[in-house]
A = this chain, B = another copy of it.
Amino acid sequence: MIKINKTRLREKVRSFSRFGDNGNGGITRLSLSEPALQARKELICRCRKLGMEIKTDDLGDIYAIRKGTEDLPAIVMGSHLDSVVNGGNYDGVLGVLTGLEVIETLCAGNRPTRHPVGVMVWTNEEGARFDPAMMCSGIVTGHFDKDTMMHSKDPEGVCFGEALAESDFAGSRENRLNPRDYAGYLELHIEQGPVLETMKKEIGVVSGVVGMVNYEFTVTGVSDHAGTTPQKTRRDALYAASGVIVKLWDELEKIDDELVFTMGRLNVHPNVHTVIPDEVRFTLDARHQSPGIIRKVVEVIKNLPHEVKGCSVEAKELWARDTVEFDKPFVDAVRDASDELGCSYLEMYSGAGHDAQYVAGYVPCGMIFVPSHNGHSHCPEEYTPIELCANGANVMLNALLALDVKKS
Contacts and interface: CB of A to CB of B under 8 A. Distances in A.
Contacts of A110: none
Given A265-B272, A273-B283, A239 B246 contact: yes
**Most central of A258, A262, A264 by chain B CB within 10 Å:** A262
B351 A225 contact: yes
B276 A375 contact: no
A193 B353 CA distance: 49
**Most central of A195, A210, A241, A378 by chain B CB within 10 Å:** A378
Contact of A273 (B214, B227, B351, B376): B214
A228 B266 contact: no
Nearest to A241: B242
A238 B227 contact: no
Given A226-B260, A226-B261, A242-B242, 11 more contacts: A194-B233, A195-B228, A227-B350, A236-B263, A238-B264, A242-B243, A246-B246, A263-B277, A264-B271, A264-B273, A264-B274
B272 A229 contact: no
Interface string A273-292: 11111000011010100000
Nearest to A226: B262
Contacts of A272: 264-265
Contact of A264 (B232, B276, B351): B276
A249 B214 CA distance: 29
Interface string A187-202: 0000111110010000
A227 B352 contact: yes
A246 B243 contact: yes
Contact of A239 (B224, B241, B249, B283): B249
Contact of A266 (B271, B274, B352): B271
A191 B225 CA distance: 10
A395 B214 CA distance: 58
Nearest to A276: B262
A227 B324 CA distance: 14
**Most central of A258, A352, A353 by chain B CB within 10 Å:** A352
Contacts of A268: 264-267
B273 A226 contact: no
Interface in A357-383: 375-379
A266 B242 CA distance: 11
Contacts of A39: none
Contacts of A233: 194, 198
A130 to B, nearest CB: 16
A257 to B, nearest CB: 7
A263 B242 CA distance: 11
**Most central of A191, A193, A277, A282 by chain B CB within 10 Å:** A193
Contacts of A351: 225-229
A212 interface: yes
